[in-house]
Structure 1
Amino acid sequence: MSNREVECRGAGSAGACSGPVTTGAPVPLCDRHLAVAHDWVDEAHGVVDLADEPCPACGSFLAVRYPSGRACGTCEWRFGDVIDSELPAPRVDVVYYLRFDGRIKIGTSSNPRQRLSRLWHDELLAFERGDRRVEHARHVQFAACRLASTEWFDRSPELEAHVAELSAGQPDPWQAYARWMSAALALRV
């Protein structure tokens, strides 16, 4: 049976719709009810778009448009909110995981862009929100594969699983950092 032979399952104020289901539709709805569902999804989840200007919090041009306004698609800062430039920049401490050759470095910084620019590495694997206490806990947790008394570790299944867990759903660590900075900025506005 083709979709054109099935009646739409949408309903309105007049009752059930008897229109034909749109060919190839993932749900049995007519064109009109598919458009209504599309508009509802746009309002509920936003529409990804390009911004006219960079986000004041993270610099991204990716935006999400909602009926109530636009937000940055990277850090979720609401366009139109003003950052108070007289306040000091917020501090967001992170534990970073870098790969260089077959080793992984676990370190911490409150200014990761500056810190990572000074370190030889092949790849930034992940960020974890935290300060020296979290860094120390990770050094203890993965002590079995630690190289002497450095911040470098041999790769191990446990360490790689931890890094994979941190980066799950967030392939770009800088996007997570941008969200954390945006949240810190929002708290001080």
Structure 2
Amino acid sequence: MNGEYTCVAFVSDRVLCGEAAALQRPVPLCDEHKVVVALSIVPELLKSTLRGIRAQREDGTQPLSRAEAHMVDSAPLAPWPETEKHPRLVYFLANGGRVKIGHTNCLPARIRVLSLREDAALLLLQGGPRLERALHTKFAKLRIADSEWFELAPEIVRFVGHKTHGKPPLRPTPPADDASMSVRRSRPRRREPRVEAEIQQVFELIRIHGYEQADLRFVQDELNLKQTTAWDRLVEGRKRWDEAALGLDQPTDETR
């Protein structure tokens, strides 16, 4: 090594080592102090990595690459589409105790294919297949078979809450001069609790407890309690959902 570089490790108060540096960058260190620094840093780094792996195992998520994690964390909310066709977005559509995470450039058609209502939408994010795959990886332990359906578990509730702060996606207000929509809105509509109750409960739990401070066990108990009731209401309609979960609905590329 170049003799002009000397070890800058302290051997006592205000006294530098001064031995020839075996390592120049990022900090000049002699052979002995290279080992000393490694012994002081590497074990703590490994412990931190191990804690992260265990935390991910416990909260039902999987580790992502740095690029994937950044993409998921920075994914902005997508506005509710005002037209049938729109830029691709990633959706979280809930039904009972499950949520479908997919992407589409035609959300209204996708909702119709799944026989859902608009209020089934928990979250809409700007993104496409790459973001969808990253989210599937993140929540892999909650995945139902090899489908796009996942358990509506507290981990997903917290993620949705973190992105939306407990506010469901805003739907555009129909034009005031649209007579047909005015007539439709004026008609009394039978409330269908099959989806609405679950969605409202999710956001109510987030509102009350906060997505950061929420007691996950309490949220899980509440969702499981509601889920049992939902299954009782949806016995006759389960075949359609099972087909969707297994991918038997075979959506087109436009509505996927």
TM over 0.5: no
Larger Rg: 2
Which protein, 1 or 2, shows the higher relative CO under an 8 Å CA cutoff with sep ≥ 6? 2
TM-score by length of 1: 0.42
* Higher fraction of strand: 1
- What is the TM-score normalised by the length of structure 2? 0.31
